[in-house]
Structure formats: C-alpha cells, structure tokens
C-alpha cells in the first residue's frame, strides 16, 4: 500500500468485461519529498502508474493504492489487474525525525 | 517483510470495506542501521505503533486478509511487531 496523487484519467474504448463498475486513474506515487512538501506540484520522480478505481477518486485527490497480485482480491473472477486504489485519503501526516538520514 | 520507521498516519473515510476502523500508518523503510532505505509505504497497524517507532512489516496479503476477516481485502502491508533492541552492533 502506497500513497499516490491522482493526476489523470484513462479511458478505454474496449476493456475486459471484468473491469465493469470501475474506471482507471493515472497516479503519481508520492515519495518522501512530496509528502514533506519539498517537491511542490503533483508530479514525483517515481514512475507514473495506472490503477483501477471504484471509489470515485478525482484528479488532485490523494489515494492509497495496492500493487501486486492482491489487487484482484476484491473480485470474484480472475482479471488482469495488478494495481487498485483502496482508500481516498482525507488527511495524512508524514513527519520523519529531524535528524533522519536520507 | 521489511523494517520501517513509523513517520505518520493517513485517515480515510471512503475506502475498501476491510479498511474500516483500521489505523493506517505511513512508514519509511529503514536498513539494519536505521538509515532510510526507500520510499514511504502505508500499512495497517493493529498493534498501535507510536510516532517514530521502528516496526516490522509483513507484505503478505493473505495474512492481512486473515487480520481484517475479509477474504476480498486487497491490503498487503501490516505492522506485526515493534523493534525494541538495537538493529545491529
């Protein structure tokens, strides 16, 4: 589970029928710099990814997403999915110790 | 499984049902010397780790499904222990 910021939507004209009920969002993973405000702006250095979303995340929202085989666990059928949003974040705090080695 | 330091938390009201009433901590992975070793990750914290506590985290989804009593939970990361001794000498 990682924190990410929604920076866009992905629209497909044809998709596996198993994906019905959700949509795809483009997510910028948030690293330590983004979480501590040292990198203002939505984009991070990390590789942008696309996740499945059925919570209603919009551009600018902070979300928690899960990568890996567990992403398809909420479905009762097998689908080719390896990233899913699991929470819309209302608020968060991220404060490493001042003397942190980074 | 990895070592990490708890550096904060996240609060969510719209989430997968298995996250309801669960505490979510934001952690920075650390190495055996306590030095930061990767990008922050989020994890369930059923044992109540405090700020800057060093913790042991499992990334085993099937174990976490067991913890939240929900086989449809996609959640993987979970705090399973507090580290209270020096990591290495």
**Interface contact A32, partner B, CB < 8 A:** yes
Helix, strand, coil in percent for chain B, rounding step 5: 10, 40, 50
Tokens found for residue A24: 């795809």
pLDDT value at residue A55: 96
**Domain limits at A53?**
2-88
pLDDT value at residue B89: 61
Q: Inform me whether the pLDDT recorded for B88 exceeds 80.
A: no
Query: Using CB atoms within 10 A of its CB, is residue A49 exposed (0-12), middle (13-18) or buried (19+)?
Result: middle
In a domain? residue A62 = yes
Average pLDDT over all residues of chain B: 93
pLDDT digits (tens, 9 = 90+) for B53-76: 999 999 999 999 999 999 999 999
pTM summary value: 0.92
Count structural domains, chain A.
1
Query: Band of the pLDDT at B22, cuts 50, 70, 90?
Result: very high
Enumerate the residues of chain B whose CB falls inside 8 A of the CB of residue A100.
Answer: 28, 36
CATH number at residue A14: 2.40.50.220
The pLDDT tens digits along chain A (102 residues) read 999 999 999 999 988 888 888 999 999 999 999 999 888 876 777 889 999 999 999 999 999 999 999 999 999 988 999 999 999 999 999 999 986 555
Residue among B84, B1, B38, B76 nearest A96 (CA): B38
d(CA B30, CA A9): 33
Q: For the CA atoms of B66, B69, B74, B80, what is the dihedral angle to 10 degrees?
A: -50
**Interface contact A79, partner B, CB < 8 A:** no
Q: Inform me whether the pLDDT recorded for B34 exceeds 60.
A: yes
In a domain? residue A41 = yes
**Interface contact B53, partner A, CB < 8 A:** no
In a domain? residue A101 = no
Superfamily of domain B2-74: EutN/Ccml (2.40.50.220)
Domain boundaries, chain B: 2-74
Q: Report whether B52 contacts B8 (CB < 8 A).
A: no
Residue among B2, B5, B9, B12 with most chain A CBs within 10 A, to mutate: B12
């Amino acid at each position: 589970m990682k924190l990410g910021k929604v920076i866009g939507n992905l629209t497909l004209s044809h998709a596996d029928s198993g994906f019905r009920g959700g949509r795809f969002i483009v997510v910028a993973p948030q690293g330590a710099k983004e979480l501590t405000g040292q990198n203002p702006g939505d984009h991070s250095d990390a590789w942008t990814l696309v996740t499945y979303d059925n919570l209603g995340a919009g551009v600018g929202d902070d979300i928690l997403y899960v990568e890996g085989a567990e992403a398809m666990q909420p479905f009762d059928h097998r689908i080719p999915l390896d990233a899913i949003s699991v929470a819309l974040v209302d608020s968060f705090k991220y404060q490493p110790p001042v003397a942190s080695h980074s | 499984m990895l070592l990490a330091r708890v550096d904060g938390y996240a609060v969510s009201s719209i989430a997968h049902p298995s996250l309801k009433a669960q505490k979510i901590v934001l952690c920075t992975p650390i190495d055996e010397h306590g030095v930061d070793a990767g990008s922050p990750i989020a994890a369930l914290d059923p044992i109540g780790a405090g700020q800057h506590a060093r913790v042991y985290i499992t990334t085993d989804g099937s174990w976490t499904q067991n913890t939240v009593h929900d086989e449809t939970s996609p959640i993987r990361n979970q705090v399973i222990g507090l580290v209270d001794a020096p990591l290495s000498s």
